[in-house]
A and B are shown apart, each in its own frame.
Chain A
Amino acid sequence: MSVWTWLTLGGAAVLALAVVAELRRRLQTSAPGRRFFRHPTAALGLFVLAFFVTIALAAPVVAPYPPYYQIDIGHPNRPPSAQFLLGTDPFSRDVWSRLVYGARVSLGIGTLAMLVAATVGTAVGAVSGYFRRWVDATLMRLVDVGLAMPRIFVLLMAVALWEHIALWALVLLIGLTGWFGTSRLVRAEVLSLREREFVAAARALGAGAGRVIFRHVLPNAAAPIIVSGALGIGNMMLLEAGLSFLGLGVPSPAPSWGNMIADGWHKMAVAWWSSTFPGLAISLVVMALNAVGDALRDALDPRREAA
């Protein structure tokens, strides 16, 4: 069992390395690609992300036990060993297996929630910046209110009101309370783009508002959206972890990195491993996302100097 664990672990690492190397080789031909890899930690961040995505996708192969399987109820909290790579938790489940399956939940929620937030934020920002006047004024007042609301309270209230919350609803909630910043960013970008000659030209050729926004303005505003998206996934993951930690996010038997911390919390004194490793996983992934986001900014926006 444990030889297989190490083999899969090594396999995931090699695969992740190969992905990074291949990406690097392909991107070397373009200027933004070279700028991306010039960032000191971009390759490392990409490797960490590729590794976690690999084990998340291949969870049934990588995990030695099923995520809900309680190995030996009589002897929970076993320390990390050759058999249990990261020990077992207070419910006698293998922490490494749950970490692997939890990667699916945590990364999935983070990514999907960010997609929701980026979509809504971009739409609102584009409409606001393009049409200006009362549309802009109304939407931006809404954004002001949204930014002032303490997000965690809003989420807590919403979750509490719904009793048992489904995963897709959680994703929607986290996404729908996270687009305010993006919309301001996109609006600022659109405000300056809409005054440019190529937009005037498109309009002169008879393009409607929808076509101008989607075909001419937004493609040119893509860089900041992508960067803020990459940085946003990390925030979404942290938020999900916080909610799950309070017992209001991902419901318990399903593993998410946040509720794994919560599961191990009260036994921290005797079994530090069951809370420590999922937290470490979150930190690593968020840090990798930040590094990649920073590198993307350097790559896509050459005017900005890497400070």
Chain B
Amino acid sequence: MAAWLVRRLVASIAIVFAVVTITFFVVRLAHGTPCGPAGERPLPPDVCERQRVQFGYDQPLLVQYGKYLVALRHGELGESFGLHRPVADALADAIPNTFTLALAALLVDFALGLALGIYQAVRAGRFGDVAVGNVALLVNSMPVFWLGLVLLLVFAQWLRWFPAGGIHNPILCPRLLSPYCLLDFLWHLVLPALTLGLVGAAGTARYQRAAMLEVIRQEYVRTARAKGLRERRVLLVHALRNALLPIITLFGLAFPFLFTGAVLIETVFAWPGMGRLAVNAIFQRDYPVVTGAAVLTTTMVVLGNLIADVLYAVVDPRIRVQRGGRGGGGGSV
């Protein structure tokens, strides 16, 4: 187990390192200089030159790369061109918002997805199962930002139940301080979290239904039934425990989805998170911010997968034996 964990950890670090290298060189080689957008209004040459020196772009590429790596070890991601502050600070401001959104969405995703999946499995083939399945299929096929727009239209514009965007009331609650402001924040959180969560839940329900159906066929479930346990107990205690295993994989898969979705959802709902920061940075040609956001997201995705793998090994002893027994090179993944 320890050896496997170390191998897995090293592989994860290597992946992050590779992504850092790729993004760094792609941006640098494609004239990602601090001279502003290439097309619109070019900076005067002397200003441009001063900027290049200030941001260290006059040094050889490999030196710049080395410096970037050294700075990265201290958690620094360089200086933003446009925001007049370090990239790490700008990201640090945005991350809590993205995390809160992702966490809330994950909650909706799993709570709703599990409940629906179990319901479908229990009623497999009957009307309830088919109806839920088809609705889930439709929701899963929607562009997530479009679902956000529709929810905004219905719940913010027509019904006026929820605010039309932003993270808090800018006049009454500039900062999170009082209980009222916390409620205000949660009130703003509902629609974006629901949007992301619903699309995720549609996928989760599908997985959970399949996992549950798989388990229900097993012998020990028949045994549980045979010894006269109530159906509710058989399903929710005996079957569900093992049907929950694939959910851990889903948990790992949810990370990329949440961060990708966040880019679009944060734009729709004017949510001041990492995704919106990155999109704005792209329009301003603020490359250090874009690179920083990409590096951070990759790290998070890799970390999510690692956590899912470790959780899986902890929860399911069959996997542990398999992985321990394989030994040797990590040739097959």
The answer to whether B294 and A279 touch across the interface, beta carbons within 8 angstroms, is: no
The answer to whether B27 and A157 touch across the interface, beta carbons within 8 angstroms, is: yes
The smallest C-beta distance from A250 to any residue of chain B, in angstroms, reads 14
Measured between beta carbons, the chain B residues less than 8 angstroms from A242 are: 143-145, 263-264
Q: Is A151 an interface residue (CB 8 A)?
A: yes
The answer to whether B264 and A157 touch across the interface, beta carbons within 8 angstroms, is: no
* Nearest opposing residue in chain B for A154, CB measure: B294
The smallest C-beta distance from A16 to any residue of chain B, in angstroms, reads 19
The smallest C-beta distance from A234 to any residue of chain B, in angstroms, reads 7
A283's partner among B16, B142, B149, B264 (CB-CB below 8 A) is: B142
Measured between beta carbons, the chain B residues less than 8 angstroms from A150 are: 256, 259-260, 294, 297-298, 301
Q: Is A193 an interface residue (CB 8 A)?
A: no
Q: Is B215 an interface residue (CB 8 A)?
A: no
Q: Is B290 an interface residue (CB 8 A)?
A: yes
Q: Is B314 an interface residue (CB 8 A)?
A: no
Summed over the interface, the residue pairs from A and B with CB atoms below 8 Å come to a total of 140
A241's partner among B143, B150, B298, B331 (CB-CB below 8 A) is: B143
| Complex Cα spacing A144 to B8, Å | 12
**B residues contacting the other copy or chain, number (CB 8 A):** 59
The answer to whether B259 and A265 touch across the interface, beta carbons within 8 angstroms, is: no
The smallest C-beta distance from B127 to any residue of chain A, in angstroms, reads 13
B138's partner among A40, A145, A238, A287 (CB-CB below 8 A) is: A287
Per DSSP, chain A at the interface is: helix
The answer to whether B141 and A234 touch across the interface, beta carbons within 8 angstroms, is: yes
The answer to whether B331 and A153 touch across the interface, beta carbons within 8 angstroms, is: no
Measured between beta carbons, the chain A residues less than 8 angstroms from B150 are: 276, 279
| Complex Cα spacing A275 to B302, Å | 35
| Complex Cα spacing A162 to B26, Å | 12
The answer to whether B153 and A161 touch across the interface, beta carbons within 8 angstroms, is: no
Q: Is B38 an interface residue (CB 8 A)?
A: yes
A279's partner among B15, B143, B291, B302 (CB-CB below 8 A) is: B143
The answer to whether B140 and A290 touch across the interface, beta carbons within 8 angstroms, is: yes
Which of A's residues lie within 8 Å of B, judged by CB? 40-41, 132, 136-137, 140-141, 144-145, 148-154, 156-163, 184, 234, 238, 241-242, 245-248, 258, 261, 265, 268-269, 272, 275-276, 279, 282-284, 286-287, 290-291, 307
Known contacts A141-B14, A290-B140, A307-B213, then 6 further A-B pairs from the complex at CB < 8 Å, ordered by chain A residue: A137-B331, A148-B16, A149-B294, A152-B260, A156-B278, A261-B145
Identify 19 residue pairs between A and B in the complex whose beta-carbon atoms are under 8 Å apart, listed by A's number: A148-B15, A148-B298, A148-B302, A150-B256, A150-B260, A150-B297, A154-B294, A157-B27, A160-B290, A161-B26, A162-B30, A242-B263, A245-B143, A245-B145, A246-B267, A269-B153, A284-B141, A287-B137, A307-B213
